[in-house]
Amino acid sequence: MSAIVADGHHLAPAVLYLVRHGESTGNAERRFNAYDTPLTPAGLAQAQRLAERLAAEGPFHALYTSDLTRTMQTAAVIGARLGLQPVPLAALRELDTGDWKGTRYADLEARDPGALQRWIAAGGVERLPGAAGESVCDVRARVTACLEELAARHAGERVIAVSHGWALGILLACVQGLDPHETFRTQQLRLGNTAVSVVEAHPGGPRRCLLLGCTAHLDPAPSRPSAASPP
């Protein structure tokens, strides 16, 4: 682990385990997830496997989570196994799909053919309809600020952050120096349920991706193919 110097002091990087939640009912039902979408039984089983993996790769100093139900439930399983209290952070929430929340993909397609495909093809530049709807830029601003805050707060420590597929894909694009609009357009950073990515982040300095989207802890019993769906 390398260190950088700030104000004459050597600052070791934070090592951040960025994990997606387990399968939710919204994933299974092919819906845009709403705030209170819980985990399915399969999602809870995935979270338990994830917790065992993290226990083997610890120790960890802190556990953060998006404050949405599916991430809070995933973090609760992890926290119970690791003896850590999950700390909710709204900055880790999923991209808010505005008026689309709770809508089945098939129903949106019937109502407005091609709407989702057009939005993704444009790189998520436009905010989704509705007062709360977000764009890729909106999410990039808050998740990168959150990463910087956690790196500064936990220099030299190892922490876990439980978040969502789109939010983490946008963050990981930025960590790797990629254009998040382009990676969103191509969906090249789609993450499976409970996928683990590891980022080394210096406070106020460089960052690098050490592991990307690993779901080895789910083998040999793969999850349902929900990774390709909007989280």
Average pLDDT score over residue span 111-120: 95
**For residue 229, is pLDDT > 60?**
no
Q: Dihedral sign, CA of 140, 214, 97, 24?
A: negative
**For residue 222, is pLDDT > 50?**
no
**Does 13-218 carry CATH code 3.40.50.1240?**
yes
Query: What is the band of 124 on the pLDDT scale with cuts at 50, 70, 90?
Result: very high
- pLDDT of amino acid 10: 57
Query: What is the band of 164 on the pLDDT scale with cuts at 50, 70, 90?
Result: very high
Query: What is the band of 204 on the pLDDT scale with cuts at 50, 70, 90?
Result: confident
- pLDDT of amino acid 220: 73
Summary mean pLDDT of the chain: 91
**For residue 60, is pLDDT > 50?**
yes
- pLDDT of amino acid 36: 82
In the chain, where the domains are located: 13-218
- pLDDT of amino acid 221: 58
* pLDDT one-digit tens code per residue, 20-29: 999 999 999 9
Residues recognised as catalytic: 21, 94
